[in-house]
Structure 1
Amino acid sequence: MQIELAAADGHRLSAWRLGPDTARRGLVVVQEIFGVNRHMRRVCERFAQQGYAVLAPALFDRAQPGVELGYAPEDVKQGIALRGQIDAAATLLDIEAAAAALRASLGKEAKLGIIGYCWGGTVAWHGATRSEVFDAAVGYYGGGIAAAKDETPHCPVQLHFGEADHGIPLDDVAAIRAAQPGIEVFTYPGAQHGFSCEERGSYSPTDSALAEQRSLGFLARHLAG
């Protein structure tokens, strides 16, 4: 269901909420550059089926409320333009608002994770390094992670990259590994950007399933309460 969140700077944004209120673990799911669209809601459903209380904040609401895009070239162009209007510090406030809503619902003892895809992969990294509200973070093909590779994570992190991602060179992945020897970094031979999205031409079911299995195992280990 759709709910409303309030960020620390007074901004109000929508969010997609799924999963049991009695959960002991909460998960903030962070969108690609296409909004909290049908694909992201499916992602939320899969994690909710694993027993997580899930919140996916609508990060585009700071630029244009209610945006849900597809994956055609014009959608990519629009998504990039919208993302460019939103400051990273403001996005951090929005994911912290989602975390606060989960904490209020589940109780102070609940463990909280964050997982993000594409733009959300970078946001998840920022959630680990620029905030202290998460107990674990997972990022898929976050193009901005390399630029922030020297930041210090405050929680365990797992990252996933496609080896054939034209937007994220393997040199960037190697630099992340070198800067952060303590985090888990997985690469997938032949996989492209967006390999975990079933609505994209780059979708790779085998790699997606393996990455999700690894993500679920990682989150289960670090969010166990």
Structure 2
Amino acid sequence: MDTTSNWIEIQGGDGRFDAYLALPRGGRGPGIVLLQEIFGVNSHIRNVADQYAADGYVVLAPDLFWRQGARIELGYDDADWQRAVELKNATDVALAQQDIGHTVRALRALPGVQGKVGAIGYCFGGLLAYHAAANGQVDVATAYYGGGIQNQLARAAQVRVPLQLHFGALDAHIPADAVARIATAFDDNDAVEIHVYDQAQHGFNCNHRASYQQRAAAQAHGNTLLFLGEHL
């Protein structure tokens, strides 16, 4: 990919934390805050950051587990899954939202960022992208298989920015009735669009997982680029 990447440091409210920065060719473009799965800013998330940088965006992926250890990076075997769940359960979601706010400010301050800033999140990061939209921290948000959004629908009325949600029809973690409840909560919000991909499971975008489905990942990436292109 024709991109440049490195880690930078961000000043948070209660300490400093790292974030992975991926720049497009020429170093300039709209900004994206990329929000990790429960596995940290691992090679998959860095690859996604590089991908969107190649698409023309300045991408910043904050290390949201920094309070438990800097740059924790996990894979997808059973032991790492167990550790990832422990890290997620130990993470204060309110503090993570504060970290996202600091990341957005740091991204907007970069000389190469032109125009608006969006958020894209995966799994746990998908839930956080939803919160970022409800908090008004970003100008647009996209959430891939955001676990737990169905339990946070009291915030639906607070979403006043364009929001795009991606789900797999075979996601055992986010069943069809949960997606239906989410859709109902946004019935009257024309700025929210929901995509459900046939034969796709949880994590369908991650080519490091057995659940990866290339067709769904390609469709979702295309839908995301169209959405971002319209709103950023």
Specify the TM-score bucket, using the shorter chain as the normaliser.
Answer: over 0.9
Structure 2: which amino acid aligns with 1:133?
Q
Q: 2:219 aligns with which of 182, 203, 210?
A: 210
For 2:65, what is the secondary structure of its paired residue? helix
Structure 1: which amino acid aligns with 2:19?
A
State the 1:106 CA deviation. Answer: 3.9
State the 1:150 CA deviation. Answer: 2.9
Q: Which runs of 4+ in 1 moved over 6 A?
A: none
1:32/1:116 contact within 8 Å kept: yes
1:150/1:180 contact within 8 Å kept: no
Task: Tell me: CA distance 1:22–1:162, structure 2 relative to 1, closer, same or farther (3 Å).
Answer: same
1:117/1:139 contact within 8 Å kept: yes
- In structure 1, the residue matched to 2:169 is 163
1:6 aligned onto 2:11: yes
Give percent identity, aligned residues only.
42
- Per-residue CA distance 1:157-215 (angstroms, 9 max, x = gap): 00000011111111000000000122101101111000000000000000000001000
Structure 2, unmatched stretches of 5+, are 1-5
Structure 2: which amino acid aligns with 1:175?
R
1:153 aligned onto 2:153: no
1:198 aligned onto 2:207: yes
1:127/1:137 contact within 8 Å kept: yes
Structure 1, unmatched stretches of 5+, are none
- In structure 1, the residue matched to 2:3 is none
State the 1:110 CA deviation. Answer: 2.0
Q: How do 1:1-225 residues align onto structure 2 when only pairs under 5 Å count? A: 1-7=6-12, 9-20=13-24, 22-106=27-111, 110-129=115-134, 131-151=135-155, 152-181=158-187, 182=189, 183-223=192-232
- Per-residue CA distance 1:12-32 (angstroms, 9 max, x = gap): 111000114752410000000
Distance in 1, Cα, partners of 2:75 & 2:109: 33
Task: Tell me: CA distance 1:208–1:107, structure 2 relative to 1, closer, same or farther (3 Å).
Answer: closer
What's the TM-score once normalised by structure 1's chain length? Answer: 0.94
Structure 2: which amino acid aligns with 1:157?
L
Task: Tell me: CA distance 1:170–1:106, structure 2 relative to 1, closer, same or farther (3 Å).
Answer: farther
Instruction: Name the count of aligned residue pairs.
Output: 221
1:30/1:116 contact within 8 Å kept: yes
- Per-residue CA distance 1:59-111 (angstroms, 9 max, x = gap): 01122222100000111110010111111110001111111111111489620
What's the TM-score once normalised by structure 2's chain length? Answer: 0.92
For 1:199, what is the secondary structure of its paired residue? coil
Distance in 1, Cα, partners of 2:113 & 2:44: 30
State the 1:154 CA deviation. Answer: 2.7
For 2:110, what is the secondary structure of its paired residue? helix
Higher deviation after alignment, 56-65 or 12-21: 12-21
1:149/1:180 contact within 8 Å kept: no
Structure 2: which amino acid aligns with 1:196?
N
